[in-house]
Chain A
């Protein structure tokens, strides 16, 4: 019945194509494209992300390849190519059978472990340790040929990329265009590998904060009443805690050897802890904003209409409220990523974030500033990480401002 009415209205509408409406996202994209600074930033960011993703494929030196005799050598432009990259392909070819053998042993150990669970505590721990040692051994066998060259632990895709690179470029690798550090490691390659971690932290931690913030805000706003009051009071209390200090405190406690060990057993390594902790402090603003938006939306006529047509609660939240939150969430997302990256750099700079052999830009800048002495300054160790971090953050900020202006002009200059 209703659909018949809609159809007749649609049919009677004059020249539908001429007055075709523009959806919010189309409109925003059109406005964003006009913003030249934002588009340039977007291009820069896409390029940086692409390069970071393809790093193992690029003919760079390995990031952890120490050559102490080349300590602190200045940036060099010639010769452009070095012929030092020697991947041990025979050894890589041999790894599958070694791994298969170890996997078999692991299988029996796992059975032992399942049996030991019922027995004494001591036996349980002993078999658990044996199990973990064997797992580590398998990892070692896989990583050994790459680690020998100075790569950190690589995932399957990255290992494939390194092999492809060896096939493409042979033994060639780019000389140290950005100088070398205290161990003679190539700064250029460390910058590329650092980009992977820095960008990953920025993205994942932001998503964590997004999930917490949107859920919290939406529940608080939708429930209203005393639940809303209590939840927002809690946010107020958290706002006035100097959070960064608490986080540092938390990170040190979670970094304590035995706790870290226990966490590692559950598959939570330090980077994951880091993602969660960083994400967990940036959700406050998001929660407030989402709550406000939900509160103003839930009394709108279209929600009432949906309700009177018999739509369920979940349908209202996900189909009617969520799309309207999208613009606000996207705006805060683009503004949160640079803040999170800044925070990661800040913590890594203090030595509380990413740990070697992983590298991040904050860690690199820290290494550069640490070796300042009154007599000599290794400027390339400070300048290049700063440029990398600075230009990425600048581009993110410009893009964030652009997205905000494009999606929600009312928020401008807010």
Chain B
């Protein structure tokens, strides 16, 4: 167990180092920098700026300074957002993005599980067919299409939600729905298959033969086994929700990390972009790690290695 955690940590460090090194040298190989504006700057100002970003030192030295800073958790100054450090931007944006992501994930798992289990229990009925058709739609449609249609429906035709912004719980619901919808669809499909699998096993037949009620059979005896594939899907789902938040935050004008990242990419704010890539890598690793741990809790046969 401890060995497993240690190995994971080691691989995360290796991955982060690779990502950092590649993006560092890519960044430095690009002509231009933080002071690359239309107007040429005074040499003194340029010198000051270069000093601030450590650009006046040789490349190898810069690399080790930056690496040391990143190891201490200091991601440096943003190239474009004047006085902000990357850490400040993250401190402001991360809670917003996490709130949105967690809500989307909760929505995806609860709706997906309920839909999947229902359609497995009523296999072959009209409800099953309809649910699975909706699930296929959810997988096929990109989330900005879902968001666009939702905005037309729920903001303009039936005005129950505000169009955009941040602050109220109301403003959180529609983005979280759009963000979670594709993953709800995946979870529904996976839950249905694994539920069907479990329901055909012997211990379910035994439980039924002993006179256990149909609801109890599904919830107590079958659900735990059926949960395993769903849990292992949560890792990719978190990655997808992180990605999807780029688009959804953009559409609903939410000031989270996703919109910061897109802006950073569009305006070539390399330090901010790199800091966010590193952060996302850590988030993904941690989530995958939690998923693996919970997998071991749900299924005692699984050995962590």
Contact = CB atoms under 8 A, between A and B. Distances in A.
Interface of A: 236-237, 240-242, 244-246, 248-253, 256, 258-259, 338, 342, 345-346, 349-352, 362, 365-366, 368-369, 372, 374, 377, 379, 382-383, 386, 389-390, 393-394, 396-398, 413
Interface residues on B, range: 35 or more
Interface stretch (B53-61, B65-73, B94-102, B258-266): B258-266
A241 B11 CA distance: 11
B105 interface: no
B26 A256 contact: no
A386 B19 contact: no
Given A252-B273, A394-B136, A259 B141 contact: no
A85 B187 CA distance: 51
Contact of B30 (A253, A342, A350, A366): A253
B294 interface: no
The 4 closest A-B pairs by CB, nearest first: A382-B148, A386-B145, A242-B280, A394-B140
Given A365-B142, A369-B251, 11 more contacts: A237-B15, A245-B276, A246-B277, A252-B265, A259-B31, A345-B144, A352-B266, A365-B148, A369-B151, A377-B156, A394-B140
Nearest to A379: B152
Given A252-B268, A397-B136, A350 B246 contact: yes
Given A237-B11, A245-B277, A248-B261, A349 B284 contact: no
A248 B265 contact: yes
B239 interface: yes
A390 B141 contact: yes
B274 interface: yes
A4 B31 CA distance: 71
A377 B152 contact: yes
Given A240-B11, A259-B30, A252 B266 contact: yes
A344 to B, nearest CB: 10
Given A237-B15, A369-B251, A397-B136, A249 B265 contact: yes
A374 B288 CA distance: 40
Interface string B248-263: 0011000000000110
Contacts of A379: 152, 156
13 contacts: A237-B15, A242-B281, A248-B261, A256-B30, A259-B30, A346-B142, A351-B266, A352-B265, A369-B251, A372-B163, A382-B149, A382-B152, A394-B137
Contact of A245 (B30, B137, B250, B280): B280
B266 A258 contact: no
B14 interface: yes
Contacts of B152: 377, 379, 382-383
A393 B26 contact: no
Main secondary structure on A side of the interface with B: helix
A352 B11 CA distance: 31
B247 to A, nearest CB: 6
A362 B148 CA distance: 12
A342 B268 contact: no
Contact of B26 (A253, A350, A383): A253
Given A242-B281, A249-B273, A350-B250, A366 B137 contact: no
Contact of B31 (A258, A362, A368): A258
